[in-house]
Homo-oligomer: A and B are copies of this chain.
Amino acid sequence: MQDHRNIEKQDKREHLLEVAERLFAQNGYEAVSIRDLATEAGVNVAMVSYYFQSKDNLFKTLLENRMPKTRAILEELLASDITSWEKLSKVIDMYIDKFFSGRAFHRIIMRELSLQQRPEHVKLIADNMGRNMQIIRAMIEEGQEKGQFRYVDSELTISSIFGTLSTAINNQPLMCILMKEPDPEHVYGEVYRERFRKHIKSMLQAHLLAPGRS
């Protein structure tokens, strides 16, 4: 059941983090016991406390390690020499891949954010995502100032982009029913990614671009 094939010495800590990420994503923070984690990773229960002091600290390490380094990409995009719409378009491409490929990880952080039970986790996540959102807001407002975008509600527009994607990855069973897709994993495959890409872009285009423009 477990996959302990050649866990090198110094990789054991890393291996624990990987298994933890998968289990947390599958079952949620509280539902994963240190014993589950240790068994699945093929190490002794005490190793978790040994490496991470506590379960809570293991989770925070996970957050900090994997917390997307997206901001650099976003800032570069904002500063780049393309139209505001092209910037937004690339942002959407990036987030679809990020959310769909890393959906396990995103389920964890969304759950922690929603639960609001561990303040340190909430702060870490909200600050990070919040700053990314501000960059996207700057892109929208740039387009508005240049007369390329209508003066839509930029904050709620961002909220709709994130909402569409995060709801999709968070509610797999509902998506299956809505899409009439029997295979639960298939809804995150390339076909559906393309569909989301097309939908979000076309909706945003209609929403943002002044009538008469392409």
A-side interface residues toward B, CB under 8 Å? Answer: 27-28, 30-31, 107, 110-111, 113-117, 122-123, 125-127, 129-130, 133, 137, 152-153, 155-160, 162-168, 170-179, 195-196, 198-200, 202-203, 206-207, 211
Determine if A153 and B113 form an interchain contact, defined as CB atoms under 8 angstroms apart.
no
Closest chain-B Cβ to A170's Cβ sits at a distance in Å of 4
Cross-interface CB contact of A116 among B116, B168, B172, B207, cutoff 8 Å? B172
Contacts of A158 in B (CB 8 A): 178
Determine if A27 and B163 form an interchain contact, defined as CB atoms under 8 angstroms apart.
no
Determine if A130 and B163 form an interchain contact, defined as CB atoms under 8 angstroms apart.
no
Closest chain-B Cβ to A138's Cβ sits at a distance in Å of 13
Cross-interface CB contact of A211 among B172, B198, B211, cutoff 8 Å? B211
Contacts of A165 in B (CB 8 A): 163
A179 to B177, CA, bound (A): 33
Cross-interface CB contact of A117 among B31, B174, B200, cutoff 8 Å? B31
Cross-interface CB contact of A152 among B137, B160, B167, B199, cutoff 8 Å? B199
Contacts of A127 in B (CB 8 A): 177
A200 to B113, CA, bound (A): 23
One complex includes copies of this chain to the number of 2
Closest chain-B Cβ to A131's Cβ sits at a distance in Å of 8
Determine if B164 and A202 form an interchain contact, defined as CB atoms under 8 angstroms apart.
no
Contacts of A176 in B (CB 8 A): 126
Closest chain-B Cβ to A190's Cβ sits at a distance in Å of 16
Closest chain-B Cβ to A57's Cβ sits at a distance in Å of 19
Determine if B111 and A111 form an interchain contact, defined as CB atoms under 8 angstroms apart.
yes
Cross-interface CB contact of A30 among B31, B125, B126, B173, cutoff 8 Å? B31
Cross-interface CB contact of A199 among B116, B157, B170, B172, cutoff 8 Å? B157
Determine if B126 and A174 form an interchain contact, defined as CB atoms under 8 angstroms apart.
yes
Complex A-B, nearest 4 residue pairs according to Cβ-Cβ distance, in ascending order: A163-B167, A130-B177, A163-B163, A156-B199
